[in-house]
Chain A
Amino acid sequence: MSYYFTILSPTDVPLFNIAFGTSKSGGDGIARFRFPDTAQYMNQFIIHSSLDMVEEAQWMNGNMYLKHIDTYPPASAYISAFLTPSGARFLLLHQPPHAAGPNANAGGGGGGGGIGGSSSILGGSFAAGSSAARASASSIAANPTSPQTEEAVRQFMAEVYENYVKTVMNPFYRQGMEIRSAVFRSRVTAAGRKWL
């Protein structure tokens, strides 16, 4: 599993983001997304597009943890959301590992001209065999929609929330400011290691 975690302000401004991989079952905690490294914007696109779902769920469901709310099937990216009462959104994109692993870069390498560093939008996802990805998604324990995953994500979110509240309580922090504290980052990393 690879994770991309973002905190967005109520006005969709990113306050914090971090990418990390699983530390469970021998994972080394490094994110390996299916997009080539040059296409990290894909995570942001997917997260951004899931705000459509968040906005809808926000007013239908009063829970803070909204669970798994969106999926981006071409890359089997799953989005879970957590809403703080003051309207910040915690969004976690999780993606099961690519069965084909390193060849995720193959699709993006030779893309057509012009766009610097953005050669592939779909290369990593569509080109490489997706059937293999589906197989792995259903077989391993890290199935993104299983109750265990939901629970783990909930724990993770709760722990981040605690640290977020501490950040917000800081009188030098104003709502809508980017969170730059290295301690906060390390806390989120630790929470990720602990639960995901």
Chain B
Amino acid sequence: MAQPPPRHATMLSLSNSNSNSNSHSNLSSTTTISTPQTQTHLPTPSQSSTGLRVPSNRKTIYDRHLNRSRNAELSRASFAFLFGEMVTYAQRRVTGIQDLERRLNEQGYPLGLRLLDLLFYRTVTGSSSSSALSSSSSTSASPPNRPLRILPLLHLIHGPLWRLLFTRPADALEHSVSPDTPNEYMITDNDPLVNTYISVPKEMSMLNCAAFVAGIIEGVCDGCGFEAKVTAHNQPTEMWPSRTIFLLRFGESVMEREKVLERAGVK
């Protein structure tokens, strides 16, 4: 098969604090830590003196560098297992396929919001060099621009975001040709990683678990200030049986702003 080499899901590395902390001690790294740090001496706030656990190595999430796991890869098996559990979890007490997809979407949404900040952070600091492990961010690289128009946003999703998640760009980016729906855009993934190990029962053939990814996209759009509704749809072809199209529908306000910015010459 012409499958690309197994994509290692860097996906979970996106919330690296998550994955890392899981391996260390479960909750400690994420709760608020009040102990004085080695670097910066606190004037010991009084209200947080009790009930907070410090990790045994006395390192908090703030002591970890965000780029450390940047190039790390994760086991595809463990991701598949984890995602499988997420789908199972989402499937509990759902009323139907739509409901299930909605839940998956909701699981992805907060991820999208976070990814956005991480993505920008990594492009700022990552390009300088991997030696930038000191706590200060590097000053040399000029930070990328926040997307102000729809097109840069879509490029951001299609390229950097996909690369961050799946180590490759998405396969296509299209604009709706219908004059009735100028607010619709489509991003195509020929073989979404999330669906690789999922086989949908016949009676649920409409289901596409990439709704999770759609949720991520929605989070990214929303975070950037582009109100949007994103859904995942099956569009199998001979060559790509699990080809998925992510349909982005931007809101009225976004389209109106587009026009204003267009006139103002904002790119």
**A residues within 8 Å of B by Cβ?**
10, 58-60, 62-65, 83-87, 155, 158-159, 161-172, 174-175, 180-187, 189-190, 194
Contact = CB atoms under 8 A, between A and B. Distances in A.
B114 A168 contact: yes
B66 A181 contact: no
Interface stretch (B2-10, B39-47, B174-182, B237-245): B39-47
Contact of B61 (A84, A169, A182, A190): A169
A186 to B, nearest CB: 5
Nearest to A65: B143
B117 A85 contact: yes
B114 A87 contact: no
Contacts of B139: 155, 158
Contact of A182 (B15, B32, B66): B32
B110 A170 contact: no
Given A87-B224, A183-B33, A187-B62, 6 more contacts: A65-B143, A158-B137, A164-B117, A165-B66, A186-B37, A189-B40
Contact size range, B: 35 or more
Binding site secondary structure of chain A: helix
Contacts of A159: 135-137
Given A62-B147, A187-B62, A170 B119 contact: no
Binding site secondary structure of chain B: loop
B205 to A, nearest CB: 33
Contact of A60 (B66, B120, B225, B266): B266
Instruction: Please indicate which of the listed interface residues B41, B48, B121 has the most CB atoms of chain A within 10 Å of its own CB.
Output: B121
B32 A181 contact: yes
Contacts of B225: 10, 58, 87
A107 B257 CA distance: 46
Given A62-B145, A62-B146, A170 B34 contact: no
B105 interface: no
Given A63-B143, A85-B116, A186-B37, A166 B61 contact: yes
A165 B148 contact: no
Instruction: Please indicate which of the listed interface residues A161, A164, A168 has the most CB atoms of chain B within 10 Å of its own CB.
Output: A168
A165 B257 CA distance: 28
Contacts of A63: 143, 145-146
B75 interface: no
A166 B66 contact: yes
Contact of B16 (A10, A84, A169): A169
B117 A184 contact: no
B195 interface: no
A190 to B, nearest CB: 4
Instruction: Please indicate which of the listed interface residues B135, B136, B146 has the most CB atoms of chain A within 10 Å of its own CB.
Output: B146
B188 interface: no
B223 interface: yes
Nearest to A195: B136
Nearest to A158: B137
Instruction: Please indicate which of the listed interface residues A171, A183, A185, A189 has the most CB atoms of chain B within 10 Å of its own CB.
Output: A183
B17 interface: yes
A171 B143 contact: no
Contacts of A166: 17, 61-62, 64, 66
Instruction: Please indicate which of the listed interface residues B33, B64, B125, B147 has the most CB atoms of chain A within 10 Å of its own CB.
Output: B33
